[in-house]
């Protein structure tokens, strides 16, 4: 401990010196050859680790509620791991998440409960005046436990974060003095993609923490230190030394689709016909190959590698080694009892539901078919077995019951841009065209069938859709 007259900057300087003395930062370490690839970034939380952690276990760091703690953002330039970085800035997202998997499963409910009990408060904040090299810091009002910002890896950067919730706020509180739940600080860094969006994942790391009321972390650290001093030298060898700072360990990226990827939402439609404009003055048909439907269900044909990636995406990384020799077919053959026996009750049931769970039934299903070249309706062609193009209907599944959703689903079905559809009308009595509104969509009969007729718009390059 430095004398009281020394400043906080002196303490942080010692902290950084202590971190750089660790083996992972020693370039002269014989175990690290010149070809050894280090992670592109390193994140250091300037708070001491607990001495009461056994060897081969993850470090545990105690924090005080509301106190600013520095997170240093370091780039490993020695191996040139960021030589392919094509942008000056990168985006980093810092989250406080649950360590306990049972709480991860109910994270949304837990955070909503905290929001109601602490209206107007945030779980995680960034102290902007103290932070260095941080640009465009943001805290989404709907994500109380996350902050994000840009920074230049070639410059010194550090963000001071404040955690406002304490570990005992998420315990049962049946009797006093119970232990609080551990949290995780997760840091994810992204670079720009071809569209200039920060969605291309570069690196992720995390560490385990517990948050106490003000001064509580200092008392807990002191208690752990006194307990260790009372142990024999042989017992002390079973525990890790306490470091001045906490180096975050590499981990899987946080499975947040809005940051991790731009893949479209799963589509229920398969192999739709091209959208053909039959008007004489219409432009050529827009025939772009439709995007493949994406689904996060584990497939029967999934290989060993595909199964491992699926486990990572769905936050089952802890079981990747356990199921390293399992294919998709192997996991799909397992029963709920098998998963419970292997993974325990909570994780076993969660993994079983993720693998065997069925899609939620859509609120409304309608069927549409593009009007054939002949003027006769499809039903008449079917009855007469006439030669010509077969009338094939495609299912459209609606969840929001809005005209916007209907427009997007029709555009996706026929592989055109939603902007090309100006309006959607319904063929009404005596041949009039009735503008389709949200209320009309909500009153569509489930599994209703429509024939789609297209009309070229007079004032633009778009088209009108008529549901007959």
| Whether pLDDT at 49 is above 60 | yes
| Whether pLDDT at 151 is above 90 | yes
Per-residue model confidence (pLDDT) at position 137: 92
Residue-averaged pLDDT of the chain: 77
Q: What is the mean pLDDT of residues 403-421?
A: 87
Q: Which residue has the higher pLDDT, 399 or 148?
A: 148
Confidence tier at 205 by pLDDT (50, 70, 90): very high
- CA dist 366 and 452 (Å) reads 12
Return the CATH class of domain 41-78+86-250.
mainly beta
Q: What is the mean pLDDT of residues 395-402?
A: 86
Confidence tier at 284 by pLDDT (50, 70, 90): very low
- CA dist 134 and 150 (Å) reads 6
- What pLDDT digit, counting tens, does each position of 426-461 carry? 988 888 989 999 999 889 888 889 988 888 877 777
| Whether pLDDT at 276 is above 60 | no
Distances (CA, A) of 212 to 123, 171, 187: 13, 13, 21
CATH fold for domain 364-372+390-467? Ubiquitin-like (UB roll) (3.10.20)
- CA dist 411 and 414 (Å) reads 5
Confidence tier at 239 by pLDDT (50, 70, 90): very high
| Whether pLDDT at 280 is above 60 | no
Confidence tier at 382 by pLDDT (50, 70, 90): very low
Q: Which residue has the higher pLDDT, 315 or 215?
A: 215
Nearest to 210 by CA among 165, 254, 247: 165
- What pLDDT digit, counting tens, does each position of 156-193 carry? 899 999 999 988 887 765 444 457 888 999 999 999 88
- What pLDDT digit, counting tens, does each position of 75-130 carry? 876 544 445 566 789 999 999 988 877 677 777 777 777 887 787 889 999 999 99
Per-residue model confidence (pLDDT) at position 378: 58
| Whether pLDDT at 1 is above 90 | no
């Amino acid at each position: 401990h430095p004398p009281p007259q020394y400043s906080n900057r002196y303490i942080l300087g010692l902290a950084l010196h202590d971190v750089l003395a660790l083996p992972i930062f020693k370039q002269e370490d014989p175990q690290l050859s010149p070809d050894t690839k280090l992670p592109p970034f390193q994140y250091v939380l300037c708070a001491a680790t607990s001495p009461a952690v056994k060897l081969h276990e993850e470090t545990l760091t105690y924090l005080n509620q509301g106190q600013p703690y520095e997170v240093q953002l370091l780039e490993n330039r020695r191996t040139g791991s960021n030589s392919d970085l094509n942008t000056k800035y990168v985006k980093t997202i810092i989250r406080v998440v649950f360590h306990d998997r049972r709480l991860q499963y109910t994270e949304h409910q837990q955070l909503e409960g905290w929001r109601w009990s602490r209206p107007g408060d945030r779980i995680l904040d960034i102290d902007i005046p103290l932070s260095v090299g941080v640009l465009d810091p943001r805290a989404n009002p709907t994500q109380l436990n996350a902050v994000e910002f840009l920074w230049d890896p070639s410059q010194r950067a550090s963000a001071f974060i404040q955690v406002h919730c304490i570990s005992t706020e998420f315990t049962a509180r049946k009797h006093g003095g119970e232990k609080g739940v551990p949290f995780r600080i997760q840091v994810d860094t992204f670079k720009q993609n071809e569209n200039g969006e920060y969605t291309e994942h570069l690196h992720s790391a995390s560490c385990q923490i517990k948050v106490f009321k003000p001064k509580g972390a200092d008392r807990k650290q002191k208690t752990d230190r006194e307990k260790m001093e009372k142990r024999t030298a042989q017992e002390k060898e079973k525990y890790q030394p306490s470091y001045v700072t906490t180096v975050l360990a590499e981990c899987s990226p946080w499975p947040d689709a809005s940051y991790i990827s731009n893949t479209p939402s799963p589509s229920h439609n398969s192999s739709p016909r091209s959208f053909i404009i039959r008007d004489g003055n219409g432009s050529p048909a827009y025939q772009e190959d439709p995007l493949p439907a994406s689904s996060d269900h584990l497939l029967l044909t999934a290989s060993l590698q595909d199964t491992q990636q699926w486990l990572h995406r769905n936050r089952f990384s802890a079981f990747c080694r356990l199921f390293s020799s399992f294919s998709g077919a192997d996991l799909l053959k397992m029963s709920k009892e098998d998963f419970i026996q292997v993974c325990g009750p909570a994780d076993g049931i969660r993994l079983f539901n993720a693998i065997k769970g069925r899609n939620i039934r859509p609120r409304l299903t309608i069927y549409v078919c593009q009007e054939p070249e002949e003027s006769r309706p499809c039903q008449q062609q079917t009855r007469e077995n006439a030669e010509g193009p077969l009338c094939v209907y495609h299912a459209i599944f609606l969840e929001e019951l809005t005209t916007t959703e209907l427009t997007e689903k029709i555009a996706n079905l026929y592989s055109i841009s939603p902007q090309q559809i100006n309006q959607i009308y319904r063929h009404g009595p005596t041949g009039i065209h009735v503008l389709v509104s949200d209320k009309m969509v909500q009153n569509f009969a489930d599994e209703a069938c429509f024939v789609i007729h297209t009309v070229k718009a007079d004032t633009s390059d778009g088209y009108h859709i008529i549901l007959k």
